[in-house]
Amino acid sequence: MNYGHFDDSTREYVITNPMTPWPWINYLGNEDFFSLISNTAGGYAFYRDAKFRRLTRYRYNNVPMDNGGRYFYINDGGTVWSPGWKPVKTVLDHYECRHGLSYTRIAGRKNDLEASVLFFIPLKSWCEVQLLTLKNTGRQPKRFKLFSFVEWCLWNADDDQNNLQRNLSTGEVEIDGSTLFHKTEYKDRRDHYAFYHVNAPVQGYDTDRESFAGLYNELSGPQAVLEGQPRNSCAHGWSPIASHCLEIELAPGQARELIFILGYVENAGEQKWESANVINKTNAQALISRFDTPEKARVAFNGLRSYWDGLLNRFVLKSGDEKLDRMVNIWNQYQCMVTFNMSRSASCFEVGIGRGMGFRDSNQDLIGFVHLVPDRARQRIIDIASTQFEDGGAYHQYQPLTKRGNDAIGGNFNDDPLWLILSATEYLKETGDFGILDEMVPFDHDETRAKPLFDHLKASFYHVVNNLGPHGLPLIGRADWNDCLNLNCFSTNPDESFQTTENRTGKTAESVMIAGLFVVYGREFARLCRLTGRQQESNTAEMHVSQMVETVKQYGWDGEWYLRAYDFFGRKVGSRENDEGKIFIESQGWCAMAEIGKENGMVEKALDAVKERLDCEHGIVLNNPAFTKYMIEYGEISTYPPGYKENAGIFCHNNPWIMIGETMIGRGERAWEYYRKICPSYLEDISELHKTEPYVYAQMIAGKDAHKPGEAKNSWLTGTAAWNYYAVTRYILGIRPDYDGLLIDPCIPAAWEGYEITRRLRDTTYHIRVSNPHGVSKGVMQVLVDGEEINGNLIPYSPGNVFTVEVTMGIMAPVLAH
């Protein structure tokens, strides 16, 4: 069953039934100021940090779900409704929600009155603009009351929900005509306030929630709205809100536009006050005046649209398969940008108070947006590296406001450092900006200990070399990429977290996944050394990498697939000797990408085992058989019921590792099959089962052992977005930036006839047409650049040009490897 459809011409997903299986959300904002918005206008706004600067209140895991938002109420002769259906839930004559790129348009119609709201955050501004259009589509004049509504969060979203003994006494507001100000704690340590404005005179307002709603009413039927009578309340403590009331008359056919602005203002020191206890509103007024007419709002909106046009023009695919094109050209890139901005902080599944910017997450996210905003990617790399320790180790996350690392969700995840090599080398390949390697970057934010970025990469590399276990494999530390494989934890206390609790200090538990990762990014490091004239460094690195390859062959191979780890006691994890968890996906992916033992058929065997044991209708599960009992020596992984999350869920993040692995041995059909299985646009028709948005990836789909296989959770903020984009564009479609040129190396189903791609890279535009006349999966026979044949499949860079590239696939090919 479908709840809507894609409109590729406007790059929108159009929801036509408000009762989606889960709130289907979108994100507004591109820098600094952000909002989440669901298909019924639920969600909240925040400035930079969803915990410390949350403007509006949202109630997670509530009944009904998706509770709290920016709501409009219309009282039209006693019929009360909301254009987004919720919160009133009056049945509408027409409903439509269009989620676009950084904007959402929600429209409802009831009894010949149409209300359509365009929500967006203009570029470079700290406010959400809501352009509301009201139209009388009937033959009779209309006179009705319109109420707006937001509920203020008392800034710290965590404290807001738990410190009621204080918070119910702190709320303060100011009312100034059509602008309602929220200034809680402004008089002491805060230098910021928020406001909600409408560009028209109001008949009344409310700023105190209970006065507006009535003590025992729900937001579906606030007393003021039901009676058509605002209370003109002024909040003192309790729960401050902002609600405007406008009385509106519309002749038949007449329309009226109103602009609502939800904004955030900072005023430093002496600028804080206009007079005693009266906030300085100059900055608020300046912000309002930028968008307070429909014309100004439309100009800002067009700016936003051009911004996205510019970004998405950098990679355009024409494959003839609209589901593929819309993912590659629109939604997957969009999700990568959102994930870049949010990391794992705020979604329907991340409550915006717990998770900062993850070290490994942010590095991996980067590979999905580096081609869109290379400058911001550069800054991100510096920010992340600045939190690193001198020995290469890392804080597991950092806080976006201060950019300082912390161990609130644990530390000593021994995969962390290597991801910095991934992000830095991808950035270099995309931009050629080798200067970044000389940039002085602090360790643990201490400027006195700053070293060139290159030294950080070296520290990452040697963090592995210096932390090897009894078999010579990398020690896992607290966990590797799989947060829940806690081999040193041994937790018996249900009140402690697996990630932060004291670990045993034994230096025995080893990770074969990190070994594979090390071979892939260790080679990248060695290659980078070579390219930058550090030959000796490169040789030494190569030596360590070769050593690791041998170690994996000797101790990391189980006969038919790669082992996953050795536990604290030195016993095999992910082996046929185990009763459960005989095989895991991560080490198959990384060791395949590292091509360890490819010459002996190990890669092929391992990937065949994945197909046989891990693959299912909905994707590749993480491990098999699923754990059915708690294994104290494995930790959190075995706490999940079978088929969910890290215990044999389809963890979409690592499916692309297998796709890429398949391309290493030229199996285009397999790579494509895996890609399609979890790609949301192909799942639209099973939305009822899949549950989350059909336009973005979810972190996890319940696996074959689950109660309900195919049901997804944790959409939006997941490394899945970047990795799938990376796998499909770089390895399946095979357009791969390298240091000296653009590499063309597709690996596709043999039946594909070809496709076209426009790729903008380093100010050069390539119009590439790939054709596959001989029906192969891999292999490039000929590449013509502007009609001239080149040697091999690497198109050397030549900045500032536009090239037409004709690629012919075929078996004769001398394919340049890597």
Nearer Cβ to ligand BGC (480/483) = 483
Q: Which does 66 bind (CB under 5 to 8 A by kind): ligand NOJ, ligand BGC, none?
A: none
> How many CB atoms sit inside 10 A of residue 579's CB?
10
Largest CA distance in the chain: 85
Among 121, 409, 603, 664, binds ligand BGC (CB under 6 A): 409
Nearer Cβ to ligand NOJ (42/703) = 703
CA distances from 691 to 20, 684, 694, 704, 714 (A): 8, 10, 8, 17, 10
Residue 558 as a binder of ligand NOJ (CB under 6 A): the answer is no
Q: Which does 499 bind (CB under 5 to 8 A by kind): ligand NOJ, ligand BGC, none?
A: ligand BGC
Cβ neighbours for 227, distance < 8 A, ≥ 6 positions apart: none
Buried b (16+ CB within 10 A) or exposed e, 133-158: bbbbbeeeebebbbbbbbbbbbbbbe
Q: Which of 208, 480, 483, 615 is catalytic?
A: 483
Among 481, 521, 557, 723, binds ligand NOJ (CB under 6 A): 481
Q: Is 483 a catalytic residue?
A: yes
CB of 171 to ligand NOJ, least distance (A): 35
Residue 478 as a binder of ligand NOJ (CB under 6 A): the answer is no
Distance (Å, whole) CA 261 – CA 45: 12
CB of 122 to ligand BGC, least distance (A): 34
How many chain residues interact with ligand BGC (CB under 6 A)?
Answer: 7
Nearer Cβ to ligand BGC (572/653) = 653
Q: Which of residues 643-672 bind ligand NOJ (CB under 6 A)?
A: 646
Sheet with 572-573, side-by-side order of all strands = 510-511, 565-566, 572-573
Among 361, 455, 524, 684, binds ligand NOJ (CB under 6 A): 361
CB of 407 to ligand NOJ, least distance (A): 14
Distance (Å, whole) CA 785 – CA 772: 17
Nearer Cβ to ligand NOJ (484/696) = 484
Residue 344 as a binder of ligand NOJ (CB under 6 A): the answer is yes
Residue indicated by tokens 């967006």: 120
Buried b (16+ CB within 10 A) or exposed e, 61-92: eeeeebbbbbbbbbbbeeebbbbbbbbbeeeb
Token pair belonging to 182: 């929220």
Nearer Cβ to ligand BGC (195/498) = 498
Nearer Cβ to ligand NOJ (24/651) = 651
| Residue-by-residue DSSP string for 196-213 | EEESS--SEEEEEHHHHH
Interaction pattern, residues 636-655, with ligand BGC; x per rule: CB under 6 A: x--------xx---------
Residue 485 as a binder of ligand BGC (CB under 6 A): the answer is no
Distance (Å, whole) CA 791 – CA 789: 7
Nearer Cβ to ligand BGC (29/410) = 410
Pairing, β 615-616 against β 405-411: unpaired
CB of 622 to ligand BGC, least distance (A): 11
Cβ neighbours for 326, distance < 8 A, ≥ 6 positions apart: 6, 8, 681
Residues counted in the chain: 818
N-terminal to C-terminal alpha carbon distance within the chain: 43
Distance (Å, whole) CA 707 – CA 704: 8
Residue 482 as a binder of ligand NOJ (CB under 6 A): the answer is yes
Q: Which does 481 bind (CB under 5 to 8 A by kind): ligand BGC, ligand NOJ, none?
A: ligand NOJ
Segment near ligand NOJ (CB under 6 A); pick from 249-257, 353-361, 366-374, 514-522: 353-361
- Helix, coil or strand: residue 255: strand
Residue 484 as a binder of ligand NOJ (CB under 6 A): the answer is yes
Token pair belonging to 193: 């306030």
Q: What does the DSSP 8-state code read for residue 730?
A: I
CB of 479 to ligand NOJ, least distance (A): 8
Whether the CB-CB separation of 92 and 116 falls below 8 Å is answered with no
Q: Which of residues 489-518 bind ligand BGC (CB under 6 A)?
A: 499
Residue 483 as a binder of ligand BGC (CB under 6 A): the answer is yes
CB of 397 to ligand BGC, least distance (A): 9
Residue 257 as a binder of ligand NOJ (CB under 6 A): the answer is no
Interface ranges with ligand NOJ (CB under 6 A): 344, 358, 360-361, 481-484, 646
Catalytic residues: 483
Interface ranges with ligand BGC (CB under 6 A): 409, 483-484, 499, 636, 645-646
